[in-house]
């Protein structure tokens, strides 16, 4: 079983290395990434939004919706941490400990 895993990983690694031959060279001006919208951003970021730092213009303006999603993910992460780890005291002053809660649900001891 372990051997099968190693072989599988080696195959995937080999496949990915073989696939990198089709990637454009780093900094290639003819690559799809450099010929699509990035030309527009480089030429118009300053004109459109008065922002010398193109990265900020792309992050917060052109790709604002993506950034909004990222921000919501950060809040969701904080909320999940609190939901999993929160300890509360009920009316009788008993602390609700997440470890005991997990134990009571039958998946406690590691």
Partner 1 sequence: MTSRYDSVFLDVVSRAVVPLIQIFALYVVTHGHYDPGGGFQGGVMLAASIILLRVAQGEESYERFSRSAGLYLAAVGALAFCLLGFLPQLFGGNFLEYGYAIPPMEAVELRYWGIFFAEVFIGFLVWGALVAIYDALTTGGYE
Report, in Å, the least distance between residue 28 CB and partner 1: 25
**Nearest-CA neighbor of 57 among 74, 36, 40, 34?**
40
Longest distance between any two alpha carbons in the chain, whole Å = 70
Of the pair 28, 97, the CB lying nearest partner 1 is at: 97
Report, in Å, the least distance between residue 2 CB and partner 1: 34
User: Which residues face 95 on adjacent strands?
Assistant: 89
Query: Which residues are near partner 1 by CB under 8 A?
Result: 47-53, 55-57, 59-61, 64-65, 67-68, 70-72, 74-75, 77-79, 81-82, 84-89, 95, 97-98
């Amino acid at each position: 079983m372990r051997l099968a895993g190693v072989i599988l990983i080696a195959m995937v690694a080999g496949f990915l290395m073989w696939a990198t031959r089709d990637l454009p060279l780093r900094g290639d001006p003819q690559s799809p990434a450099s010929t699509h919208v990035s030309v527009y951003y480089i030429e118009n970021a300053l004109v459109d939004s008065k922002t010398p730092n193109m990265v900020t213009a792309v992050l917060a303006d052109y790709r604002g919706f993506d950034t909004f999603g990222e921000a919501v993910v950060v809040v969701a992460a904080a909320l999940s941490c609190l939901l999993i780890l929160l300890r509360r005291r009920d009316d009788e002053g008993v602390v609700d400990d997440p470890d005991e809660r997990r134990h009571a649900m039958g998946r406690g001891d590691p």
